[in-house]
Amino acid sequence: MYKILRRKELNPTVTLLDIEAPLIAKKAEPGQFIILRVDDEGERIPLTIADFDREAGWVRIIFQIVGGTTEKLNHIMEGEYIHDFVGPLGVPTHVEGLKKVAVVGGGVGCAIAFPIAKKLHEMGAEVHSVVGFRNKDLVILEGDFNAVSDKMMLMTDDGSHGQKGLVTNALKELIEAGNKYDEVIVIGPLIMMKFVCALTKEYGIKTTVSMNPIMIDGTGMCGGCRLTVGGETKFACVDGPDFDGHLVDFDEAMERGSMYKPFERHAHDEACNLFKKEVQ
């Protein structure tokens, strides 16, 4: 059992949890993920590590409520426990030797982009952060990104906060202004990563994406998380989750991600109904 040390709602659908897991905190690196189960009957879901404190022994996750499991997870309060928490899994984001990097985050993907930006900043690299959200109410980690970025651009689809537009507009502006990036690291919805990659390909800038496909064990056992990268099948859990964005078959990844959509929607409604009943 793993204790929730801190819980904070970042916006109506995104919650932050600091979970007591000293062994994982000791080894975790940006870009790696954990798998958790909320209770003894629960499914295993992967979530990328948003931050960690090796001394205090906690690992931070930030999740969006999308299905039954994340709905249940959102009802676990500070001081309570989740049943299983395993990691750190996957290969850490490769940051060595990078001097100037654009870190692009979209929506809850910013939670994963942040520890990478932080690590790059601590290494002394010049960090330009481009973060995008649908609107003002969904903005997360603005202060955190500001603290570790040499330049920061916050975009909203409707212009209700920061600048109006997409992250691709901002990134293009930065590139056009003469910024020469060693690498662009982008984490967010698949469709966003696809378009960022299309843009950076035009300019020939190396681009790393973090994939978050459907997964069960997270150790290479099931192959459910497989992707096509440069014409080869790769397992996101052990070969990734980071890949060369210019080689990833995003269309296939989007298709595969939709396999259980109807089931997820149903499971989420069921979980919600259950909690509604408890409240009554």
| Contact (CB, 8 A) for 17 and 60 | yes
Using CB under 8 A as the binding criterion, the count of chain residues that bind another protein stands at: 40
The token duo for 36 is 């958790």
User: Amino acid letter at 115?
Assistant: P
Point out which span in 157-165, 175-183, 194-202, 224-232 binds another protein (CB under 8 A).
Answer: 224-232
Among 6, 8, 9, 23, binds another protein (CB under 8 A): 23
Least Å from the CB of residue 82 to another protein: 11
Residue (203 or 275) nearer to another protein, CB: 275
Least Å from the CB of residue 177 to another protein: 39
Interaction between residue 252 and another protein (CB under 8 A): yes
Interaction between residue 92 and another protein (CB under 8 A): no
Beta bridge pairs of residue 132: 106, 155
Rounded distance, CA 77 to CA 168, Å? 37
The token duo for 180 is 């020469």
Residue whose entry in the numeric block shows the structure tokens 């080869």? 232
Site string for another protein, 188-217 (x = CB under 8 A): ----------------------------xx
Point out which span in 5-13, 168-176, 203-211, 263-271 binds another protein (CB under 8 A).
Answer: 263-271
Q: Is the dihedral of CA 18, 20, 26, 31 positive or negative?
A: negative
Residues 117-136 that bind another protein (CB under 8 A): none
**Greatest Cα-to-Cα distance within the chain, rounded to the nearest angstrom:** 59
DSSP single-letter state for residue 94? -
Among 46, 87, 105, 245, binds another protein (CB under 8 A): 87
Among 133, 156, 226, 242, binds another protein (CB under 8 A): 226
Least Å from the CB of residue 251 to another protein: 9
Helix or strand holding residue 112 (H, E):
helix 110-122
Least Å from the CB of residue 217 to another protein: 6
Which one, of 52, 59, 26, 185, lies nearest residue 117 by Cα?
A: 185
The token duo for 9 is 């709602």
Give 235-257 as a DSSP string.
EHHHH-SEEETTTB-HHHHHHHH
Rounded distance, CA 155 to CA 172, Å? 13
Helix or strand holding residue 176 (H, E):
helix 167-176
Residues 30-49 that bind another protein (CB under 8 A): 37, 41-44
The token duo for 242 is 């980071």
Least Å from the CB of residue 227 to another protein: 8
Interaction between residue 137 and another protein (CB under 8 A): no
Among 191, 263, 272, 273, binds another protein (CB under 8 A): 263
Among 174, 219, 247, 275, binds another protein (CB under 8 A): 219
Among 5, 19, 86, 138, binds another protein (CB under 8 A): 86
User: Amino acid letter at 126?
Assistant: E
Positions in the binding site for another protein (CB under 8 A): 23-24, 27, 37, 41-44, 68-69, 83-89, 216-224, 226-228, 233, 238, 252, 255-256, 258-260, 263-264, 267
